[in-house]
Amino acid sequence: MRRLLAMLAARRGRGRLHWTDWASYLHLLLGLLVMFGPVLWLVLSSFKSEAGLIEFPPRLLPYEQARVSVQGYPQPLPVFRITAGDFKGRELAEVRRIGLQAQMLDPASPGEILRVPAQDRERVMRLHFALENYTDLAGRFSFGTYLWNSVFITVTATLITLLINSMAAFALSKYRFSGRDAIFVTILATLMIPPTIILVPNFFIASTLGLVNSPWGVIWPGVATPTGVFLLRQYMLTIPDELIDAARMDNASEWRIYWRIVLPLSAPALAVLAIFSVMWRWNEFLWPMIVLNKSETFTLQLALNSFQGELTTSWNYLLAMTVLTLLPVTAIFVLLQRYITQGIASAGVK
Amino acid sequence: MALAQRVLGAPRLPWVFLTPNLVVFGIFTFLPIAIDVYYSLTGGAQLLPADRPFVGAQNFRELFECESYLDPTSCKRDLFWFGIYNTAEFVVLQVGLMVVFSLITALVLNRKIIGRSFFRAVFFYPVLLSPVVVALIWKWILQRQGLLNAALDGAGLSTVNWLLDAHWAFGWTVFVSIWAHMGFYTLILLAGLQAIPRDVYEAAEMDSASPWRVFRRITLPLLAPNLAVVVVLALIRAVQIFDEVYVLTGGGPGSATTFMVQYVFQTAFSQQVRQYGLAAAASLLLASVLFGLTLLQLRSMRSKDR
């Protein structure tokens, strides 16, 4: 322990920890608790049974009353430890309870019914991960449909986003033509028109185009993004024009130059935009809520929202669904953290 | 495409590349602004603009019909005014606190500390979670028999029904949105801090300046452009707060956590009579605020690049 402290206290340059170092680590540990604790609590809770969830105060880990199967009884019987009286110290299974008396039996000799006062016993708890919260989802609540809707929208929208924004960026970075700067400024100006202020007209346009209750109604409005054009254009400007001139000498068509030369060379910027797009689409909420009204068209986010709004919410399923919804984003984060943080630090966008 | 090149000739080709993008922008961004203006000047519950009667500035007049602007309950559209006041209070509290927390965290993460990239990831992780997930995580903790009340109970304190008390519910919307977004701003500030040259600090160390003095005289002035970007971005987002609050509190209790965007959403989409005109008028007012903030953003970004 002392060595650990010595190691922690060791600092380059100075021998001992300055008060600012203590404050820093305190801040970080508190941060760890506040930022990550709630997510951990969600995951732990999602493995609790319905009975475990309503326990107050809650336990940290998913505990559940032990049950034992006894011949002659169709259901497994709950196990209690006897705390007083003749059977003190023994673990018995409850057959039924009548008022203050409980009829119990010893699983080892199931023929004999023992009578025990109800207050002389306590429940035997054991660790039990309620995996059924997850496995039940497959068959119930059309979870598969919501998952498919979310995946379809995310993947399709991201592919279209990459295609049309890189085409625009290519035109804006590799050609000189009159009106180019005006177009670029116009595209950037759409930053001033966030989706929240055009909800009503966009709903009208979506319904005119027959996109209400269709995944395409969610996909189309967001595929052209000023952020994407900006990010890709800045990157493509760094690709030397000599490469393109050389290809033109070889009689390559302009489309071929875009598709075979510029696009592959822009891979790092495309990757950043792809990650952003996946995050935007997977997490999108307000616009899908307006354009998707039938439950079979819901995305996971909409399903979670409508599910939590019901009066008789089964929190055990809701929590499991929430964990499954945050899983893909978490996986992307763990694998691609460096690209995400660099992308944000350089572009200043989310 | 090769055909297009032959027919149109190479000079017009950039426009072919631009077309898909511009068509989407045209249909779903620029056209809607015009329709939004038209909706705001018409009444009725019809969605089709041609069926809507022209009412002039009636919608705006209705929104501003108040006996006293200081008292939302005296207004005809009281929820609109509750939305404005709540949003104003939220923006000031959320942006102020979040920028301070982000700055402190960025300063800490910029030091020579053990496990720096791990801690950076911890602070950033909630940024990626969806608003619905964020709201459910906290709803589960703040519910009557949740973790927070269990901790209070264990410490011998009385429990609170956090999301059903107007003041607490508002406070929690501020806290939860800071929790969900501060990692993003921390990251931008951290990038700014790392761009400050080391030798400036070494010079200060030679003069054995106090940490506070170093912060005031070196860090803060050199970080100012990044801070400006962060403040403006945070303002733009805070004004549009909706998703996580809608799931967390539904705008309640009463109208304690009803914000501007939720007013627009409710007026247009979740009431018996869909008042598109009123909603469009309210969103144009919101747009004018955002327009001003975006001009600020572009200016702060330009000064940062300089």
- The tens digit of pLDDT for each residue in B203-239 reads 887 887 788 888 888 889 989 888 988 998 899 899 9
Is A251 in the same domain as A169?
yes
Is A325 in the same domain as A206?
yes
What is the Cα–Cα distance from B287 to B292, expressed in whole angstroms? 9
Within a domain: residue A211? yes
Of A197, A220, A286, the CB nearest to B286: A197
Q: Which residues, 6+ apart, have CB-to-CB distance to A265 below 8 Å?
A: A239, A243
Within a domain: residue A52? no
Mean pLDDT of B164-172: 94
Q: Would you call B187 and A344 a contact, using CB atoms and an 8 Å cutoff?
A: yes
Residues of B in contact with A39 (CB under 8 A): 125-126, 129, 137
> CB contact, 8 Å: A336 with chain B?
no
Is A154 in the same domain as A244?
yes
**Which tokens go with B82?**
């509750």
* pLDDT the model gives residue B13: 84
Of B25, B127, B179, the CB nearest to A187: B25
Residue among B27, B28, B48, B205 with most chain A CBs within 10 A, to mutate: B28
Ordered DSSP codes for B239-294: HT--HHHHHHTTT-STTTT--HHHHHHHHHHSSSS--HHHHHHHHHHHHHHHHHHH
Is A192 in the same domain as A290?
yes
- Closest alpha carbon within chain B to A335: B121
Is A338 in the same domain as A245?
yes
Within a domain: residue A50? no
The per-residue pLDDT for range A119-175, each reduced to its tens digit, is 888 888 888 888 888 888 877 778 889 999 999 999 999 999 999 999 999 999 998
Within a domain: residue A55? no
Q: Which residues, 6+ apart, have CB-to-CB distance to B118 below 8 Å?
A: none
Within a domain: residue A180? yes
Mean pLDDT of A205-225: 94
- Three-state DSSP at A83 gives coil
Which of A232-236, A280-284, B73-77 has the weakest average pLDDT?
Answer: B73-77
Residue A282: which of A197, A157, A137, A140 has the closest Cα? A157
Whether the pLDDT of residue A12 is over 50: the answer is no
Q: Would you call B33 and A201 a contact, using CB atoms and an 8 Å cutoff?
A: yes
Give the rounded percent of residues in chain A with a pLDDT score beyond 90. 38
Which of B43-52, B267-276, B296-305 has the weakest average pLDDT?
Answer: B296-305
Residues of B in contact with A204 (CB under 8 A): 35, 39, 47-49
Is A22 in the same domain as A112?
no
* pLDDT the model gives residue B305: 61
* pLDDT the model gives residue B167: 93
Which of B20-29, B182-191, B263-272, B292-301 has the weakest average pLDDT?
Answer: B292-301
Whether the pLDDT of residue A271 is over 70: the answer is yes
> CB contact, 8 Å: A182 with chain B?
no
Mean pLDDT of A93-102: 82
Q: Would you call A224 and B114 a contact, using CB atoms and an 8 Å cutoff?
A: no
* pLDDT the model gives residue A336: 84
Q: Would you call B29 and A253 a contact, using CB atoms and an 8 Å cutoff?
A: no
Whether the pLDDT of residue B134 is over 60: the answer is yes
The per-residue pLDDT for range A273-289, each reduced to its tens digit, is 998 899 899 999 999 99
> CB contact, 8 Å: A47 with chain B?
no
Structural domains counted in chain A: 3
Q: How many CB atoms lie under 10 A from the CB of residue B167?
A: 9
> CB contact, 8 Å: A29 with chain B?
no
Mean pLDDT of A36-62: 86
Whether the pLDDT of residue A30 is over 60: the answer is yes
Residues of A in contact with B131 (CB under 8 A): 283, 285, 301
Give pTM, 2 decimals. 0.87
- Closest alpha carbon within chain A to B230: A348
* pLDDT the model gives residue A169: 95
The per-residue pLDDT for range B183-208, each reduced to its tens digit, is 999 998 998 898 888 888 888 878 87
Q: ipTM value of the model?
A: 0.87
More confident call, B129 vs B225:
B129
Whether the pLDDT of residue A9 is over 60: the answer is no
> Are the beta carbons of A226 and A188 closer than 8 angstroms?
yes
CATH code of residue A251: 1.10.3720.10
**How far does B126 lie from chain A, in Å, by closest CA?**
7
CATH code of residue A72: 2.30.30
Q: Would you call B18 and A171 a contact, using CB atoms and an 8 Å cutoff?
A: yes
Within a domain: residue A53? no
The per-residue pLDDT for range B80-109, each reduced to its tens digit, is 989 999 999 999 999 999 999 999 999 999
Mean pLDDT of B37-50: 87
Within a domain: residue A223? yes
Ordered DSSP codes for B158-203: PP--GGGSHHHHHHHHHHHHHHHHHHHHHHHHHHHHHTS-HHHHHH
What is the Cα–Cα distance from A80 to A120, expressed in whole angstroms? 10
Q: Which residues, 6+ apart, have CB-to-CB distance to B192 below 8 Å?
A: B106, B223, B225, B226, B227
Domain boundary among A85, A101, A127: A127
Find the domain containing A108 and state its range: 63-127
The per-residue pLDDT for range A238-258, each reduced to its tens digit, is 999 888 889 888 888 888 999
* pLDDT the model gives residue A91: 82
* pLDDT the model gives residue A5: 55
Residue among A197, A266, A339 with most chain B CBs within 10 A, to mutate: A197
Q: How far apart, in Å, are the Cα atoms of B58 and each of A60, A240, B61, B70, B275?
A: 57, 57, 5, 22, 13
Residues of A in contact with B276 (CB under 8 A): 200
Residues of A in contact with B24 (CB under 8 A): 164, 220-221, 223-224
* pLDDT the model gives residue A1: 53
Domain boundary among A102, A127, A152: A127
Residues of B in contact with A282 (CB under 8 A): 130
- In this structure, what DSSP letter does residue A140 have? S
Q: pLDDT tier at A39 (50, 70, 90 boundaries)?
A: very high
Instruction: Find the helix or strand (DSSP H, E) in which A116 lies.
Output: strand A109-117
CA A223 to chain centre: 22
Q: Would you call A42 and B140 a contact, using CB atoms and an 8 Å cutoff?
A: yes
- Closest alpha carbon within chain B to A38: B137
Q: What is the mean pLDDT of chain B?
A: 88
Is A77 in the same domain as A93?
yes
- Closest alpha carbon within chain B to A315: B140
Q: Which residues, 6+ apart, have CB-to-CB distance to B129 below 8 Å?
A: A39, A283, A326, A329, B137, B180
* pLDDT the model gives residue A349: 54
Residues of B in contact with A56 (CB under 8 A): 145, 150, 153
Mean pLDDT of A168-184: 91
Is A25 in the same domain as A168?
no
* pLDDT the model gives residue A346: 66
Residues of B in contact with A222 (CB under 8 A): 28
Of A39, A171, A337, the CB nearest to B121: A337
Within a domain: residue A154? yes
Chains A–B, number of C-beta pairs less than 8 Å apart: 266
Residues of A in contact with B172 (CB under 8 A): none
Rg over CA atoms, chain B: 24
Residues of B in contact with A229 (CB under 8 A): 21
* pLDDT the model gives residue A13: 47
> Are the beta carbons of B180 and B123 closer than 8 angstroms?
no
Is A194 in the same domain as A286?
yes
Is A116 in the same domain as A221?
no
The per-residue pLDDT for range A302-335, each reduced to its tens digit, is 999 988 877 677 888 899 999 999 998 899 888 8
Domain boundary among A99, A127, A155: A127
* pLDDT the model gives residue B184: 92
Q: What angle do CA A333, A338, A341 make, to 5 degrees?
A: 85
Is A108 in the same domain as A254?
no
Is A165 in the same domain as A255?
yes
* pLDDT the model gives residue A4: 56
Give the rounded percent of residues in chain B with a pLDDT score beyond 70. 95
* pLDDT the model gives residue A348: 57
What is the Cα–Cα distance from B127 to A332, expressed in whole angstroms? 13
Residues of B in contact with A326 (CB under 8 A): 129-130, 133
More confident call, B210 vs B132:
B132
Q: Would you call A197 and B105 a contact, using CB atoms and an 8 Å cutoff?
A: no
